[in-house]
Amino acid sequence: MKPFLWPVLVALVAAAPLSAEEPRLLGTLGVHPGDVISVAFSPDGKTLASGYEDAKIILWAVPGGAKTAALTGHADKVLCLAFSPDGKALASGSADKTILLWNAATGDKTAVLDGHAKEVRCVAFSPGGETLASGSADNTIKLWNVATGKNTATYKAAAYWVESVAFSPDGKTLASGGGGNDIRLWDLETGKGTTLLNANSEYARPMVVFSADGKTLAFGGRCISTIKLWDVVTGKSIRSIDLDGPYGVASLAFAADGKAVVAASVHEWIKLWDVATGKNTATVKRKVNGVGCGAFSPDGKTLALGTYEKTLELWSVGAAQAGDK
């Protein structure tokens, strides 16, 4: 199959010219018949997986843009994707209530994890890759043994649904974001959960992300007008960053050194903020009908955005690092 050719770069930026630190559009990947619902980079950053409303999963070579595989197996929308830390496995969660595990090199389906009563909205591998966490519209988080496919623990996690899960870098804590702005930290040794926030906003779609050192948790999402930062040890709020408008963000990550956060809004912008001061340090204006999902490459240099225009945009974002859902 011939690789997708990058188009001429299009300037979707503010009036002032971009500096080397500001995001810039690299190009777009091929158009698919359905909207892009989920995206994930492999650990080496050389493969991008995208999930679609027509239940397909496409694997792309980065940066060349060649479509390397099309995975079929789900019966409904692919709502979430995650690569294992060694890059050998891909996990996908679907509106069909199942999680599928794939051999990332061959595209073969290796396991079906079946246990949620409603759609699976988020998945994440533990740092060692031995455990997979999944969150569902059935209001639960499940932990799975990747080798055996067995469900090892189930947590009642939110008032409405579970939208996001993230392991701490040391693998001892799991953060979850659920409908109702229900943000919790789970001690994986005891299974005890600590609630950081519950703003009772049924329509919010929160996401949680750890800084690389595991000391700070960021929270943001759709229909949420702020990004909040917490001290993981004390559970106390560090800072709240106000956003422009009520629609919130579709993608969120920390910089590698933890000194900045970067986010892409649902409709209009990509922004960076200084964590210590909350000051906005860079803004790029965009024009798109809507962003359905986003993911950062492991080296923090590339942001992939799935749009409601049925395309994948790739952006250069020098200050970001992987860690969003």
Instruction: Check if the beta carbon of residue 240 is closer than 8 Å to that of residue 249.
Output: no
What is the per-residue pLDDT for 15? 23
Instruction: Check if the beta carbon of residue 26 is closer than 8 Å to that of residue 314.
Output: yes
| CA–CA separation, 308 and 137 (whole Å) | 22
Query: What domains are defined for the chain?
Result: 24-316 (2.130.10.10)
What is the per-residue pLDDT for 125? 98
Enter the DSSP assignment of 224: -
Six-digit token string for 182? 């229900």
pLDDT per residue of the chain (325 residues) written in tens, 0 to 9: 333 322 222 222 222 223 335 678 888 887 777 788 899 999 999 999 999 999 999 999 988 888 999 999 999 999 999 999 999 999 999 999 999 999 999 999 999 999 999 999 999 999 999 999 999 999 999 999 999 999 999 999 766 789 999 999 999 999 999 877 788 999 999 999 988 877 655 566 788 999 989 999 999 888 888 899 999 988 888 999 988 766 788 888 887 778 888 888 887 788 889 988 999 988 877 766 677 788 888 877 788 888 877 888 888 876 444 333 3
| CA–CA separation, 19 and 41 (whole Å) | 25
Which residue has tokens 């591998």? 125
226-231, strands of its sheet edge to edge: 205-210, 216-222, 226-231, 237-242
Instruction: Tell which residue, 38, 159, 161, has the closest CA to residue 100.
Output: 38
> For the whole model, what pTM was predicted?
0.86
Q: How many CA atoms lie within 13 A of 255 on its CB side?
A: 18
What is the per-residue pLDDT for 84? 98
What is the per-residue pLDDT for 200? 54
- What confidence tens digit (pLDDT) does each residue in 245-277 have? 667 888 888 877 788 888 888 877 888 899 889
| Long-range contacts, stretch 271-280, CB < 8 angstroms, 24+ apart | 272/21, 272/22, 272/23, 272/317, 272/319, 272/320, 273/227, 273/241, 275/216, 275/229, 275/238, 275/239, 278/239, 278/240, 278/241
Enter the DSSP assignment of 18: P
Q: How many helices (H) and strands (E) would you count in the chain?
A: 0, 28
Six-digit token string for 164? 């996001």
What is the per-residue pLDDT for 188? 96
Q: What is the 3-state secondary structure (H, E, C) of 26-72?
A: EEEECCCCCCEEEEEECCCCCEEEEEECCCCEEEEECCCCCEEEEEC
